[in-house]
Structure 1
Amino acid sequence: MNYRRWIAALLFAVASSLAHAATPDVYQETAAQIRAHAGDHRLLVLGELHGTRETPLLVQALLQGYDEKTPLQLALELPTTENTALAAYMASSGDAAAKHALRNSPYWNVRDHLHDGRRSQDMLDLIEAARALRAQGRDVAVVGFDENTAGEGGPGARDADMAKTLRAEFHALPATGRMIVLTGNVHGSRGQPTYLPYPPATSLLEGLPLYNVRIEARGGEFWACMGHRKCGTRALIQRDAAPPKVDTRADRSYDLWVFLPRFTVARLLGGDI
């Protein structure tokens, strides 16, 4: 690498680090905007691009900002088979042994091209943040809601199973409880995109006090799979700064769109990524 390339690489690394580390107020501000727009809706669905560092930080800020007396359930796009381990971790001290037990399941150890971006240190840090709130005396739980990860039952079966699980989890909440769902932005859509031959999970949650938010960024990168064995870093189209966008149309996909300054690729776990 010649001198100019070395300088350019160094400046890019420093800029990326500063962009990620120097804006904690952005997460708090955006989380406050989401809570304000969602109002009394007790089921909040967040549609994300998998594989970023920033979205878990935003969800952490969102959890921290609710009233301390509000029971909270964070539902993540993890297999329901992880729920025993999640419950054990939430009840633990969060020490090294507890972290190892949570991290050691096959789910968190997918490797190379099969890595879809959901398995990252950033997601584990989000779970730890929820555990820390619980340790402070808050009523906080974390569950997975992905029942059908093998895709059994044909097109649409996975989303139908997700919706069934989310509905059951929501009905099990206390009357004052709130559920915050973090899922991919297709699963999180209110409507059925024209390219999708089946309704996404969130569109099957009719009758519930639902508000959904799409989390975007004005630039940067994320990690995702765009087809079989086609996983990797994806660049976002650069866009100008924009305030939260409210959509009230009958055929809307999301009630609210929010735009973080930048996405950076998550700290992915395992393998030669």
Structure 2
Amino acid sequence: MKRWRWMAGWVIGMALGAANAAPAPVARVEDTAAQIIQHAGDARLIVLGEYHGTAETPRLVADLVERYSRDNAAVRLGLEMPMSENVALARYLRSDGDLDAREALRTTPFWFVKDDQHDGRRSRDMLDLIESIRSLRAQGRDVGVAGYDVETGSSTDNDMRDAAMATHLHQQFNALPPGARMLVLTGNVHAMRSPPADAPPEMQQRTMASHLLDLPLYSVRLEALRGHFWACVQPCRALPLIERAPRDPELSTDQDRQYDLVVFLPGLSVGTLTAP
């Protein structure tokens, strides 16, 4: 619990700006996707650390999958959803994406949480991302999507959860077709290669990404110049980002780096969260 409180405080402290910050503009994700592709190079495991609950990040990820899957390239997407949802995800990918299929997908246990636990991972924007994978697959692309998280409501503490998610991702990565690439969307703390230097000693436990360093990992933090995201900080609500001037992507090769790359979307806005 202490670690969760510190992580939440650190992430929110990095993000919060003035309460009356200007609304985020409609963000163009294409340029950001191109930056990630340019800098990630041949990396076969790209972990994308996000702010939960935005409209733009699922669009960015959909764009990345579309680009990476051109010319018969195999791409798999990992989402921060419980492994138990994978049967429903596979069933949806085989469907024609009609209203009945979409309703069957969004009425599985993952999509039903109490109001104070709605951390932003459940949104119509995420459903649209899953639909984009189904549509690409229907066109003949070699794409897929699966969850890698522990069960919702599990009593597993944060350290055990990060280790378990990494174990699931190891298994999924090792099962990839030869030469396939895997994209993983996760919270930006899970995506850290190492914890921040200013974390208290008792919070220096390993993150999910730190368990994946034996794989060809490329860790990307998805930042934005302005806007809002969704977080649960008594109560769950939209929180503003610090407004920044336009800037280039930030690369790091330091041995103790938190991320390999930080990119900046023009803006973020809160997505359309699904109702319980």
| TM-score > 0.5, shorter chain as reference | yes
CA contact (8 A) 1:149 1:158 kept: no
Q: Which amino acid aligns with 2:176?
A: L
Counterpart Cα distance in 2 of 1:113 and 1:70: 40
CA RMSD of aligned residues (A): 1.8
Write out the 4+ residue segments of structure 1 that deviate beyond 6 Å after TM superposition.
none
Counterpart Cα distance in 1 of 2:126 and 2:158: 27
Counterpart Cα distance in 2 of 1:170 and 1:203: 15
Q: Which amino acid aligns with 1:250?
A: Q
Counterpart Cα distance in 2 of 1:222 and 1:154: 24
In structure 1, the partner of 2:226 is 219
1:200 and 2:236 correspond: no
Q: Which amino acid aligns with 1:240?
A: A
Secondary structure of the structure 2 residue equivalent to 1:156 = helix
Secondary structure of the structure 1 residue equivalent to 2:173 = helix
From 150, 163, 168, the equivalent of 1:165 is 168
In structure 2, the partner of 1:238 is 243
Looking at both structures, which has the greater relative contact order when contacts are Cα pairs under 8 Å and sequence separation is at least 6?
A: 2
Q: Deviations 1:200-238 (Å, cap 9, x if unpaired)?
A: 111001210110100011111111123xx4321111011
Deviates most, 109-118 or 164-173:
109-118
Counterpart Cα distance in 2 of 1:203 and 1:77: 17
Q: Deviations 1:129-157 (Å, cap 9, x if unpaired)?
A: 11111010001111000025444344411
Q: Residues 230 and 199 from structure 1, CA distance in 2 versus in 1: closer, same or farther, beyond 3 angstroms?
A: farther
Counterpart Cα distance in 1 of 2:77 and 2:172: 10
In structure 2, the partner of 1:185 is 188
In structure 2, the partner of 1:258 is 263
Secondary structure of the structure 1 residue equivalent to 2:72 = coil
Q: How many pairs were matched up?
A: 251
Radius of gyration: which is bigger?
A: 1
CA contact (8 A) 2:193 2:213 kept: no
Q: How does 1:113-128 map to 2 (within 5 A)?
A: 113-128=116-131
In structure 2, the partner of 1:79 is 82
In structure 1, the partner of 2:109 is 106
Q: Following TM superposition, by how much is the alpha carbon of 1:167 offset from its aligned partner in structure 2, in angstroms?
A: 0.5
Q: Which amino acid aligns with 2:264?
A: F
Deviates most, 198-207 or 164-173:
198-207
Counterpart Cα distance in 1 of 2:105 and 2:175: 24
Q: Which runs of 5+ in 2 are unaligned?
A: 1-19
From 196, 211, 216, the equivalent of 1:209 is 216
Q: Which amino acid aligns with 1:241?
A: P
Q: Following TM superposition, by how much is the alpha carbon of 1:109 offset from its aligned partner in structure 2, in angstroms?
A: 2.3
From 29, 32, 45, the equivalent of 1:30 is 32
Q: Residues 115 and 153 from structure 1, CA distance in 2 versus in 1: closer, same or farther, beyond 3 angstroms?
A: closer
Q: Residues 65 and 152 from structure 1, CA distance in 2 versus in 1: closer, same or farther, beyond 3 angstroms?
A: same
Deviates most, 122-131 or 103-112:
103-112
Counterpart Cα distance in 1 of 2:154 and 2:223: 27
Q: Residues 122 and 242 from structure 1, CA distance in 2 versus in 1: closer, same or farther, beyond 3 angstroms?
A: same
In structure 2, the partner of 1:136 is 139
Q: Which amino acid aligns with 1:157?
A: M
Q: Deviations 1:135-183 (Å, cap 9, x if unpaired)?
A: 1000111100002544434441100000000011000001210100000
Q: Which amino acid aligns with 1:252?
A: R
1:269 and 2:271 correspond: no
Counterpart Cα distance in 2 of 1:155 and 1:62: 29
In structure 1, the partner of 2:95 is 92
> Identity across aligned pairs (percent)?
50
Q: Which runs of 5+ in 1 are unaligned?
A: 1-11
Counterpart Cα distance in 2 of 1:166 and 1:231: 28
In structure 1, the partner of 2:67 is 65
